[in-house]
Chains A and B, each alone.
Chain A
C-alpha cells in the first residue's frame, strides 16, 4: 500500500467507528422529543449490553486444553463472588486480576 492508500484505509475505519457512535444522536437529536419506544429501549438495553460485554471478554476461551479456560473462569467467578459479598469495585478487580495472573504464570 502507498501512504495515500494507508491514510484512506485508516480514515475508513475512523469513519465507520464515528458513524456507529454518532448515529443514534443524529437520528434522535436533543432538541426534539425522543419517541417513547426509543426512550424505553434506551433504559432496557444497558443490562443486555453489560452481559454481552462479559461474554465478549470470554469469546477467546479455548476449551481444547484446561489452561485455555480454567484460569479465566475461576478468576471470573472469584471476582463476581467477591463483588457480590464486599461490593468494593477496586478490591474485586484487583483480587480477580492478580489471581488470574498467578494462575497463568
Chain B
C-alpha cells in the first residue's frame, strides 16, 4: 500500500466511530459558542479556546472566569481539578500510543473523553494503521468541536436551539462504550468500583471534586488487589 492508501483506509475506518460525536460536539460546541457570544465575546474567543484548551467543561468555566477578577492561579488549579481524569487516560494509553511517531504529541494533546474512549475501546480492523486511525479519530473530533464553537460564536442566538436534548448523544455514547468495555474485561471489579465510588463520591463531596476523589479511591482499590495478588503469587 502507498502511504496515501494507508491514510485513506484509516480515515474510512475512523469516520463511522466519530459520527455520534459529530452530532454531540456540533451541538455542544454550538451551545458553547452561543454562550460566549451572549457573554459578549468575539467569535475569535470560542474558536481559539476550543482549539487550544479543547476540554469542554473547562472551557465553560474559563468563559465564566474571564468575566471575573484576574486570578491566574485560581484558573490553573480549577482546570487541573476538572481535568484530573485525563491522568487516568494517559496511564491507560501508555502502550497504545507507543510507536505512533510524530503523531504521538498530537494524540496526547487531543485526548478528550470521547477520543480516549473510542481509541481505547475500538476494534481497529486488520490492515488498518493504528496510528493513523487514532490520529483521525482525534483530529475529526477536535474539528467538530472547534467548528461548532466557532459557528456558535459567529451567529450567536440567531441559530435555532429547539434541538433540545441532542446533547444526550454523549451520554448514550458513554453508556454504549461502557457496555463494550464490560464485554471485553475478564472481571468487573474495576467497572463496579468506578460506578459505585463515583456515585458515592458525587453524593458526599459534590460535583467539583468527585472525579479526583473517585480516582484516588480507585487507585486504592487497585493497590489492595495488586498487593494481595503479589502475596498469593509469592506463596506458590
**Which residues does A use to contact B, with CB under 8 Å?**
1, 5-6, 8-10, 12-25, 28, 30, 34, 37-60, 71-72, 75-76, 79-80, 83-84, 89-90, 92-93, 96-97, 100-101, 103-105
Q: B residues within 8 A CB of A14?
A: 52-53
**Which residues does B use to contact A, with CB under 8 Å?**
16, 19-20, 23, 48-49, 52-55, 58-59, 62, 65-66, 69-73, 75-77, 79-80, 83-95, 97-99, 104, 108-109, 111, 113, 116-117, 120-121, 162-166, 168-182, 185, 188-195, 197-199, 202, 207, 210-211, 214-215, 218-219, 222, 225-226
Q: List 15 A-B contacts (CB under 8 A).
A: A13-B59, A17-B58, A17-B79, A20-B83, A25-B94, A41-B226, A45-B88, A45-B190, A45-B222, A46-B120, A52-B218, A89-B20, A89-B180, A93-B172, A101-B168
Q: B residues within 8 A CB of A6?
A: 66
* B35 → A minimal CB distance (Å): 15
* A100 → B minimal CB distance (Å): 4
Given A13-B58, A55-B195, CB of A49 within 8 Å of CB of B88: yes
Given A8-B72, A37-B226, A47-B181, CB of A79 within 8 Å of CB of B176: yes
CB nearest to B222 among chain A residues: A44
Given A17-B55, A23-B87, A79-B176, CB of A46 within 8 Å of CB of B166: no
Given A10-B49, A12-B72, A54-B175, CB of A40 within 8 Å of CB of B194: no
* A102 → B minimal CB distance (Å): 8
B76 touches A10 (CB 8 A): no
Q: What is the predominant secondary structure among interface residues of chain A facing chain B?
A: helix
A79 touches B226 (CB 8 A): no
Q: B residues within 8 A CB of A52?
A: 85, 194-195, 198, 211, 214-215, 218
* B158 → A minimal CB distance (Å): 21
Select B87's contact among A20, A53, A57, A96, beta carbons within 8 Å. A20
Given A18-B109, A49-B89, A72-B168, CB of A9 within 8 Å of CB of B175: no
B94 touches A17 (CB 8 A): no
B214 touches A38 (CB 8 A): no
Given A101-B168, A105-B165, CB of A9 within 8 Å of CB of B92: no
A20 touches B174 (CB 8 A): no
* A56 → B minimal CB distance (Å): 7
Alpha-carbon distance between A75 and B166 when the two chains are bound, in angstroms = 12
Alpha-carbon distance between A8 and B23 when the two chains are bound, in angstroms = 32
* A45 → B minimal CB distance (Å): 5
Given A25-B108, A30-B98, A72-B171, CB of A49 within 8 Å of CB of B85: yes
* A18 → B minimal CB distance (Å): 7
CB nearest to B83 among chain A residues: A20
Alpha-carbon distance between A55 and B113 when the two chains are bound, in angstroms = 13
B175 touches A80 (CB 8 A): yes
Alpha-carbon distance between A100 and B69 when the two chains are bound, in angstroms = 39
Alpha-carbon distance between A44 and B188 when the two chains are bound, in angstroms = 10
Q: A residues within 8 A CB of B166?
A: 97, 101
